[in-house]
Structure 1
């Protein structure tokens, strides 16, 4: 004791302070998914090393052979690139502003710090090497050892890990009862979606067996499995199911083999589909008619 005051409370206070300091240091230390010294996705590195891959000559045309930009600057895919500019000498390029817009789009398809979970890297990679099951444009990379794939992976791996919120769930029941009715509806002067989409890889409106005028549960599941390839949950304007039949001057794709069903995004039917893509279950509107299937 000193001056009649015991030392133990002072010692306890020091211990509490020491424990608090240790806990504070632990809280500020990088966790297992964080790496000290990393940076956000680099635009400069993207423009210098990744963007040129979109222009690389693949030796031909068609899936797996055409340059990435051939489809991705013309179609409403999630990887929607800006259209190329051209010099007087015929050389194509993107301006810095174009590249920044491309960078924003690509960044949404990346899990920073984790190449293997990045959709951007998995779509064109073969399934045997860990790639996605389906890519309309074909497969360009046989393995992760491909120099181009490694270039993109290094760019992603150099960034700070960032967890993205899970996308909304697409409501199958609404698809079955309402969205499929759009495929059968005929607008004046146009053919129905089913006219072109009842077979093949893009057959999201398969042929209905004779004696019936609508799909059963199993057939609807099959249509849904294909249609969802052309939907980006939460992103109507990144969903080809909505941008392909939309007029180009309203934000639709530059090319669609079939008719343009919607002249603008104000079309009630387009708005209904956009709400479904955002994870909602709106009132069912087919053509100009409201009906069952939502609410």
Structure 2
């Protein structure tokens, strides 16, 4: 593990950029960026275009370590280059800590939750991640409604994979998202916190994780998780909230920082001039940073 990266993520001021849209969400991300599906054919062209989008974001002057602590990458992005360097190495050269999305997507909804699909090649992915100088990983599940047994299953699966990731020398970001449209979101969050605490308390002193959680309905609901000695950092997903709404909610939670995807890139467009693109990205970075470090 890179100790400098660990210290930066644990103690630095800023937020983590989520640039990890995968095969299923890439067409939506490109469409939001002004690249409609009928402008490309096949996955190869699609992934070339999304890498161009990510490259434009990452190489922008607005994307730097003054306000951005880390960036989460899609597996293909890890294997591609930016200005002659593998993406993670390019990020590190800018002082931004690289993470990798390792899950294979969500299983079908069952008992009001969505587990992760199996990750049969995780050990090989982790080996390659170490070769590419990746610091940590991310994997996502979703909780839709309060079902204590099902939520326990979600958290157990996350931590089982998390321990495998820790054993490979990486820091897992455990992401059991609570759907912002849940009819009983606050109850889901209380159940989720209890199950996460049980898993955290069972970790050994050399096992550390990060958590990526939906901004809670009740401010500071997750303070106990943020303060837990086995937690490096707790970051928040935007979850479908607009950037302004996500920022306002984030400000109410001490110690919680952003890891936004759509809320970061929502004003960016392929047809913008570099000047306009960089200006829009800078505005997004500034407001998300402010919400992450300046609390009410």
TM norm structure 2: 0.28
Larger Cα Rg: Structure 1 or Structure 2?
1
Greater relative contact order (Cα 8 A, min sep 6): structure 1 or 2? Answer: 2
TM-score, with length taken from structure 1: 0.28
Select the structure that is richer in strand.
2
